[in-house]
Amino acid sequence: MRPGTKIHALLSTARIANVPSVVSNLGVGVLLGSTAAGSSFSWPWLLSVAVVLFYVSGNFLNDWADREWDKDKRPERALPQGMFSANAYLATAVGGAGIGLALAAFSGLGALLVAAVLVFFIWLYTKVHKTAAWSVIPMGLCRACLPVLGYVAMGRGISATVLFPAAALLLYIIGLSLSARWEARGDLPVAQKWQARGLLVGAGLLAAILPLLIDPLFGWIGLLPFGIWLALCVTKFQSPVSTHVSALLAGIPLVDWIVLLPMALSWLNLKRVESVDVMFITAIILPPLAFVSGRLLQRLAPAT
């Protein structure tokens, strides 16, 4: 997509490259919830549309709130260039969030409540992210809500099971965000660099706790793709900061795969599923597909 066009500007505002990871984050909760419920697997398509709308509307709201700051720091964005009106961005954000909440309601009252909490964290992050250092927490909580939302939508309430991937996403996004803060200011200072790396590694280890508890034989396997990509992020893709952050963003679904890959292999080993079952295929394919899709979409529009 050629930079400078309105379509490219809209895709950039939506951070379209990160949308696949949102679906993957929802998916880890859906699959864990389906396993806990013991019912036949059914993918919640309306809820998938809802979380995409939440993510995209949050980005439109963020760019609307940052329009004055972007005139100086990110003049290539659509609003500083006058491609669209600020009111149009605000209306898109509010409308998208409203439609997302309506769609989430089809998955039950619990899903609607979690979706409302997610929308609140989007608003809170937008309000404080340019003035408060702790704004990385509500940003991480936005992602952490996604597996919880998927789990609750399967009708099982909230359990400690889904809190492991949720907490891992929280740590990963905080670590990623600490790096992203330096995107417009040059290379990361050494202290912030190691702090961010510690959080990213911690996220991976935290996500691995659940599969290791369930099946020590297969529980560590998901750490392999995550560890390989993280190593590339801090070596080959460490500079400039924009390249580093884009690589980390693409790697978000690999946090989900730390849980889903060993879980799916464990199901197969225990003969709870066949290799042709939709649930097994979804658990095996969804995170890497989201990873590859996100990386390819970064060629279409920037991830940040």
- pLDDT tens digits, one per residue of 48-60: 999 999 999 999 9
pLDDT at 191: 75
Domains of the chain with CATH codes: 6-297 (1.10.357.140)
Q: And the tokens for 110?
A: 């619990």
- Give the side-chain half-sphere CA count within 13 A for 136: 17
pLDDT over 60 at 263, yes or no: yes
pTM comes to 0.94
Query: Which of 214, 216, 222 lies closest to 161 in space, CA to CA?
Result: 214
Least confident of 43-47, 94-98, 266-270: 266-270
- The pLDDT tens digits for 208-262 are 999 999 888 889 999 999 999 999 999 999 888 889 999 999 999 999 999 999 9
Give residue 272's Cα distance to chain centre: 29
Per-residue pLDDT band at 39 (split at 50, 70, 90):
low
